[in-house]
Structure 1
Amino acid sequence: MKFLPILLVSSILFSGCATTYQSNGFSGGYSETQLDDNVFKVAFRSNGNTSKERVADFTLLRSAELTMQGGYKYFVIVDANSYTSNSTYTTPTIATTNANTSTYGNANIYGNNATYNANTYGTATTTVSGGQTYNISKPSSSNTIVCFNEKPTTGFSYNAEFIFKSITKKYDIEHSVQ
């Protein structure tokens, strides 16, 4: 139970933030698998506050980055997938009751005999909160890319440097290829 406050604070911190361009972690990010010298499968997984467009762009950005890191200039997407995992979260229901009572009356005591005459009146108000259900959609995307030194003459290819500059500018990402 001592981890509950940490989990609560973490969920509050991540509740309004889209997944950033980062290596795969708790809130999502990119990952890749090298399939051959110049072939990669690139994936980007996001949290529930990230748009499909951002996920597709970050998958392209990582594809461009890997292409340049390998010393290549162009890449072709030979397989692409996008998918969304959906889930729901329902907040706990809390009921609070406030009550007010009033009692008035009298008591008659005669020797060992006593009689009581009392009346009690009251009101109670119950307020229920919580119980909202939220739909959470987490988009993900993957590309299988083939990297080239020269621009392929057939099919559609991407200029890795152009994609890198375009997407880092679009999302104001200060990042360099290593």
Structure 2
Amino acid sequence: MRIIPTLSLIILLGGCATAYQPQGMTGGFSETQLDTNVFTVVFKGNAFTDRDKANDFAMLRSAELALEHGFKYFLIVDAQQYSKNSTYRTPTTVTTNVNANTYGAAYSYGNSTTYNASTYGTATTTVSGGQTYNISKPRTSNTIVCFTEKPQGFAYNAGFLVKSLKQKYDIQDAPNK
């Protein structure tokens, strides 16, 4: 019966969408530096995070990462969006309640005894549980190339994106920044 405490903990910790945070037990972002100006950023959401939010949070981390390394612009050279899918089936329980009444009489005539009895009853069976839940956790991965000057053609403005996405999701800067 370790499933119930574990499931309760998961529901308690994951009762809301993944916050914009470094990768932790409930999801978040992580990055890998591939070159001086090339990074891969991954955002993993939980089952309460929608795909658009996961994409926005990967974009926000990409923009922050560019700024943290002294770059003003970046291009996404590879992007992947997918979901990690799983199912959970609740345990099935069966409960049967029985009510029975027995009425009877015993008659004695000389050396013999006669018994006459009747039993009346009802039974109710209830089945609960056994539901299957589909769980989909969005994943987004961006490989970005960063630039100090705006390259020819289209490029994301990292400063603008950070401001815009933090405002959209009401994300406050950490006190030490």
Same fold (TM over 0.5): yes
Provide the rounded CA distance (Å) in 1 between the counterparts of 2:43 and 2:134: 21
Please name the residue that 1:157 is paired with. Answer: 155
Q: Residues 83, 158 of structure 1: CA spacing in aligned structure 2 closer, same or farther, 3 A cutoff?
A: same
Alpha-carbon deviation of 1:15?
Answer: 4.6
4+ runs deviating over 6 angstroms? none
The amino acid of 1:102's aligned partner reads N
* 8 Å contact kept, 2:14–2:26: no
Alpha-carbon deviation of 1:59?
Answer: 0.3
Please name the residue that 1:174 is paired with. Answer: 172
Provide the rounded CA distance (Å) in 2 between the counterparts of 1:105 and 1:12: 55
Alpha-carbon deviation of 1:136?
Answer: 1.1
Please name the residue that 1:40 is paired with. Answer: 39
TM-score normalised by L of structure 1 = 0.90
Please name the residue that 2:77 is paired with. Answer: 78
Alpha-carbon deviation of 1:111?
Answer: 6.4
The amino acid of 1:151's aligned partner reads K
Please name the residue that 1:104 is paired with. Answer: 103
Provide the rounded CA distance (Å) in 2 between the counterparts of 1:110 and 1:136: 74
Look up the SS of the partner of 2:118 in the other structure.
strand
Alpha-carbon deviation of 1:112?
Answer: 5.8
Look up the SS of the partner of 2:48 in the other structure.
coil
Look up the SS of the partner of 1:63 in the other structure.
helix
Provide the rounded CA distance (Å) in 2 between the counterparts of 1:108 and 1:47: 73
Give the % identical residues: 60
Please name the residue that 2:7 is paired with. Answer: 8
Please name the residue that 1:127 is paired with. Answer: 126
Please name the residue that 1:24 is paired with. Answer: 23
Look up the SS of the partner of 1:8 in the other structure.
helix
Count of aligned positions: 176
Q: Residues 12, 110 of structure 1: CA spacing in aligned structure 2 closer, same or farther, 3 A cutoff?
A: farther
Consecutive unaligned residues of structure 1, counting only runs of 5 or more, are none
Provide the rounded CA distance (Å) in 2 between the counterparts of 1:87 and 1:112: 74
Q: Residues 121, 170 of structure 1: CA spacing in aligned structure 2 closer, same or farther, 3 A cutoff?
A: same
